[in-house]
Structure 1
Amino acid sequence: MAVTAVVSAVGLVIDDRVLVGAPIWAKPFKFAVSFVSYSLSLAWMLSLLPRGRRAGRRAGTVVAVASLGEMVIIVGQVVRGKRSHFNVATPFDEALFNTMAVTVVVLWTATLVIAVLLLRARIADRAAAAAMRGGVLLALAGAAVGFLMTRPAPGQRRGESDVVGAHSVGVPDGGPAMPLTGWSTTGGDLRIAHFVGMHALQLLPLVVMVLAVLAPRRPRLADDRVRLRLVRVASGTYAAVFALVLWQALRGQPLLRPDAVTLGAAGAVLLAAAAGTYATLRGAPRPGAGLPPRPSDHSPSVAETRPSAEVTGARKDLVS
């Protein structure tokens, strides 16, 4: 995938062909980069499994083979100057698209197996375990968004249209788009939720790494319970953002042109995230809490606080 990303980058420079409103080599480049990060994340997670490594290794191999098969079709269609996704113009194109659908299902199922292994594993670092589990579950949800794209768009009918399916909602594919990402600026775009969900695999473990770096300077973060709660807040916030951008796209709304309802929902998500973070840090034990106080230079010594023999004798006389 790394080699394919380099080849595609060269193609972006030397090949000026445009397909569906985007440079023809943009799709293989984005897919290759995405598969690099996806595969590295899964490989790292599988390396932490205390049990079930053989099943995890087999599932990882299936992910790699399925990814390779999909990229072969994408690059092959680029060389032909044809669309890879949603293309049913000829029996051959339709067969390739149907093959890609099978590879996606196989890849999704293999990732599900890895998710089950991670959910059942006992990993010592609870914060890292929570980040990995949340990341892989959100990645599965993000990948499942792709199934929504295969539904016929308005005006499309199987057997009558050359294209069946779309990633845009409310507008045709290939219209005005954001730079780099290619996401629609005039309608909803399901690729946004697809992207957000898939890359939870990298971003949630990154939260754990940031907390580990900050822990020496922020003693409260040294408590594994605090890190675990912060990761759970981050996972919940990320899931809410994923649901929000998916809901926004399904309503045919561009990402950068949210209405009042979307802005209100986004504000609620941010408020909940801030409240969860504040509550976690406020409830965290202070550094040194629960430890006995250290004697100072002005504290009386044991000898000074021990009653003298005269005082003790006087007390006995008084009692008698």
Structure 2
Amino acid sequence: MDRHGIRIPAATAPDRTAATAPATVPVGRAGAVWRAARPAERLCLATGAALVLSGLVHLLVFAVDGGPWDGPVSWRKPFTFGLSFGLTLTAVTWVTSYLRIGARSRTVLLVVFAVDCVVEVAGITLQAWRHVPSHLNTTTPFDTAVAMTLAVGGGVLVVVLTVFAAAAFRHRPAGPSGMPLALRSGFAILMVGLLSGAVMIARGVVLSRTGHQQAAYDSTAPLKPLHGVSLHAVLVLPALTWLLSRTAWSATAKRRVLRAAVGAYTVAVLGAGVWAALTW
């Protein structure tokens, strides 16, 4: 009580839940997500949006300029790589907020990942405007430097994403019901995508260095569907889980839908892998 006999409420203990809970913000409310994001997350989200925009701009360039869609030199590459890297960076920024990983470690990894995504898309885009292949191209010292930079960048991507995948399996991720399964399945399938990409580069380098340049470019075609499909499981499955958490369905129904989605995605990846094996 104070000196006037009025009871003063006891100070309440600080709520530690917000301080210890992972920095997760529901997607779908862009303004709320942006305001709640840390500076590093804002940088990554803005960079992801810029990369997607870059990809869409090059789709417009293709519509105006024309040219082949397939092959090592086409506007398809800056379009698909810009879109893919932008979506992947945005997805990784979001889904890693559910992982039990130190805030400082996550920030460093995200910034490295964002910079690497920009370098990869920039190199591919530069070579598209120069009308020369971006990967496996050792025609000139400059082209060799670009190709090597892209290869090293690919290695950095593998390391960063592997660290995040390990964190997903080491400690149970947070989030709505089903998110641990979605994240672990998404990262496991993502590893398949990274492995297929490494195989494409390795086989292409061998063929290129033995004087079979055109064969090096052609050798990547069978693995492209497997590579493309498996890369985005880490976005599709967690996004589905979040959407299910917003419905009034029973927990059993949500689990069944998610498990069916994981199964369907796995079958799609296996199908792409079988097709690659048969056509390679």
Partner of 2:27: none
Partner of 1:222: 251
Is 1:204 the counterpart of 2:237? The answer is yes
C-alpha distance in structure 1 between counterparts of 2:100 and 2:84, whole Å: 27
Report the Cα offset of residue 243 of structure 1.
2.1
| Equivalent position SS for 1:251 | helix
Partner of 1:94: 144
1:238 to 239, 247, 265: 265
Partner of 1:194: 227
C-alpha distance in structure 2 between counterparts of 1:29 and 1:125, whole Å: 34
Report the CA distance shift for 1:74/1:82 in structure 2 as closer, same or farther (over 3 A): same
Partner of 2:192: 141
C-alpha distance in structure 1 between counterparts of 2:70 and 2:266, whole Å: 31
Partner of 1:5: 55
Superposition TM-score, scaled by structure 2 size: 0.71
Q: Which runs of 4+ in 1 moved over 4 A?
A: 19-23
Is 1:14 the counterpart of 2:43? The answer is no
C-alpha distance in structure 2 between counterparts of 1:6 and 1:252, whole Å: 31
Partner of 1:52: 102
Are 2:230 and 2:269, in contact at CA under 8 Å, matched by a contact in 1? Answer: yes
| Cα deviation 1:19-44 (Å, max 9, x = unaligned) | 75487221101111111211111111
C-alpha distance in structure 2 between counterparts of 1:211 and 1:152, whole Å: 41
**5+ residue gaps in structure 2?**
1-50
Are 2:98 and 2:175, in contact at CA under 8 Å, matched by a contact in 1? Answer: no
1:111 to 161, 169, 180: 161
1:243-254 equivalent positions in 2, closer than 5 A: 243-252=270-279
Residue identity opposite 1:39 in structure 2: L
Q: Specify the structure having the higher radius of gyration (Cα).
A: 1
| Equivalent position SS for 2:276 | helix
1:75 to 118, 122, 125: 125
Report the CA distance shift for 1:86/1:51 in structure 2 as closer, same or farther (over 3 A): closer
Report the Cα offset of residue 81 of structure 1.
0.8
Report the CA distance shift for 1:157/1:77 in structure 2 as closer, same or farther (over 3 A): closer
Partner of 2:211: 160
| Equivalent position SS for 1:88 | coil
Are 2:52 and 2:87, in contact at CA under 8 Å, matched by a contact in 1? Answer: no
Q: What RMSD in Å do the two structures reach over aligned CA positions?
A: 2.8
Are 2:70 and 2:76, in contact at CA under 8 Å, matched by a contact in 1? Answer: no
Identity of aligned residues (%): 26
Is 1:38 the counterpart of 2:88? The answer is yes
Are 2:176 and 2:241, in contact at CA under 8 Å, matched by a contact in 1? Answer: no
| Cα deviation 1:49-90 (Å, max 9, x = unaligned) | 454222112111111111111111111111211011222223
Number of residue equivalences? 228
C-alpha distance in structure 2 between counterparts of 1:50 and 1:21, whole Å: 42
**5+ residue gaps in structure 1?**
174-188, 254-320
